[in-house]
A and B are shown apart, each in its own frame.
Chain A
Amino acid sequence: MKKNNLILYGGLLALGLVAPFIFPAFKVQLSILCVLIVLAITWNIQGGEMGYNSFGNILFYGLGMYLCASVQVGMFFPLAEWTESGGEKTFVHTPVQFFQGIAAGLVVAAVIPAIVAGLIGYSILGLRGHYFAIGTLGLGVAAGEISGGIEIIGAGQGFTTPPFPNVGSLEARGEFFYYCSFVALVLTFIAVKSIYSTRFKLVLNAIRDNEDKAEAMGIQTMKYKIIGWMISAFFCGLAGGIMGGLVGYIDSTDVAFDGREMGVFMVLMAILGGKGTLWGPVIGATIFHIFKEGFWTFFLGWQYVALGVLIVVIVIYFPEGIMGWLREKYPERFGEVIDDVDRKAQVELK
């Protein structure tokens, strides 16, 4: 079993490393896929494992996006003049400045959202169930509306991120952002996998299953909830920072705090793959991305209709997700021991 896992992970890692050379035309799509997987995994930390279904993680994504771009610009040039119309044409980053900027920007984009999550966590995570869902939905939309009114980050007219400098071949930009997002994905996966093998995950699951009982057992639930949300926010912000550079243009409600797209996507991907599993979000995001690109290409204009129908269908008929379905079908593979008598009884019941 151990050896199989090693082959699986090694194979996936190798595939990820060579993917941009095998499919050169799909580099941007692959980068977006990596970002989507990161988002699904981060949503799953508190949505799936902790049972706190958030619609507002888009807050951290958008925050990371704006922070990364602001740091990238603000380190070398006055930010306010950059975001004025045409400002990005006056100032040009040298390659060194660009890479320094994006490195610092990504660190800030990850750390600040985590701190924000820690600061608001005590207030927001005291809400439960649907109040938490609606409260976070409000947070996400409010962030979008408010950032759309702030002048220094471009307000309604948007924020152009620094263009990629002229180094290497024409393909360099795509490859750079692909490897950025792939490294982010690998980091997220390793972090989450190692977290899931500790007692921390059991605490999160206890909170999901019955918070009052967990508290009665002496677990400081609030502390763990905040830490869980901070981890989620950290990687969410990182993904946002990368996506900002990849898209090249930040708009408050259409790109950064895009609750109607990304905010729903991350929930949907995690549910499609299976909430509360390690691989569920990864599989869900991959399948979702393929579907989404198909819809966006062949049903252009009708994509949101398709999205709405897809949400309803998944939620009603497929709430357990792919991993949940597999788990029900092959419980042995997931380490659950069921003897034949039980299984027969189950089949007869059905």
Chain B
Amino acid sequence: MDLLIFQAPILMVQASMDGILLGILFALIAYGMALQWGVMNIINIAQGDLVILGGYIAYFMYLYGIHPAWGVIVSPIIMYFVGIGIYKLVINKVVDRDLFISILATFGISILFMQLMNFAFGADVVLANSGYGTTMLFDNSVTLPNSKIFAAIISIIFAIGLVLYMKKSKLGRAIRATAQNARAAKILGVDTEKVYAATFGINAALCGVAGALISITFTIHPYMGLPYTIRSFMIVIVAGLGNLPGVAISGMGLGVFEEFADYILGTEFRIGSVFLLLVLILVYRRFKLAKKREYLK
């Protein structure tokens, strides 16, 4: 193999660092997906599009001269209400229906968002320049943009904050109760409808944070949503529902995998390798469970 990455092993360090920082962002999105999947039993195909929308909010602040890092505060607030709106309009009608119905309905939302964003913001690849500079490591051979480090730190703060909120607050307890048994929670006086709406709103808000960070560190484009959905889905099925450390670790693992795939296979196969990895993981899980005569549920 005469690939660059094997000739210059320092690139492996570079790829791993990039991958871990990227993976923390993925884990944040996956956390939102695990939340709504666990509570409402809905797989939201529009997850990635919510991320991109959140990114555009930060980008617009940047265009109007506000530092895009403030998007981390503003974007989740706006996205929370967007999420509540989507819930009231569509999701609450598909919550207790066949799973395929909810997948298809959110697929429709995804197409709708994609196109609306395309109209509103144009089909250019954009990024919000944070002006944070870069950090050089190991004799200047590994470069880490400070914005990526900033993004990772902010995501960790939000993730920990949400975990604490889920543990301590009244709404958090209600959400966890609904996730365990929606009927019992209803009997004991939890307004599940409100809980569902709040869950979807919180998920959208998390997407908003992640999107704002992505617009600072990477690029955003109206059609780039679906890979984020697939990534977060993959992270959740690898980690298992309700396994938060697992989400963080598998998120970082996916990030590292992607960076290495980028170096070894070439950038044009990057997204393709993510989707292939999803299929491979599903098939692997399926064969493992088939030995016990079970299947993925």
Contact = CB atoms under 8 A, between A and B. Distances in A.
Contact of B275 (A126, A128, A142, A311): A142
A200 to B, nearest CB: 23
A264 B279 contact: no
B4 interface: no
Nearest to A303: B115
A118 to B, nearest CB: 15
A316 B111 contact: no
B278 A133 contact: no
B157 interface: no
B282 A131 contact: yes
B112 A126 contact: no
Contacts of A53: 100, 103
A107 interface: no
A128 B289 CA distance: 12
B230 A138 contact: yes
Contacts of B98: 319
Contacts of B17: none
A55 B43 CA distance: 14
Contact of B269 (A146, A260, A302): A146
Contacts of B276: 138, 142, 146
Task: Summarize B's interface: helix, strand, loop or mixed.
Answer: helix
Contacts of A126: 283, 286-287, 290, 295
A27 to B, nearest CB: 29
A133 B103 contact: yes
Interface residues of B, number: 46
Contact of B94 (A135, A138, A316): A316
Interface string B1-29: 00000000000000000000000000000
Task: Summarize A's interface: helix, strand, loop or mixed.
Answer: helix
Given A138-B275, A141-B275, A304-B115, A127 B109 contact: no
Contacts of A137: 230
7 contacts: A133-B100, A134-B230, A138-B275, A141-B226, A141-B272, A308-B112, A319-B101
Interface of B: 43, 90, 93-94, 97-101, 103-105, 107-116, 118-119, 226, 230, 233, 237, 266, 268-269, 271-273, 275-276, 278-279, 282-283, 286-287, 290, 295-297
Interface of A: 53, 55, 123-124, 126-131, 133-135, 137-139, 141-142, 144-146, 148-149, 155-156, 260, 264, 267, 271, 301-302, 304-305, 307-312, 315-316, 319
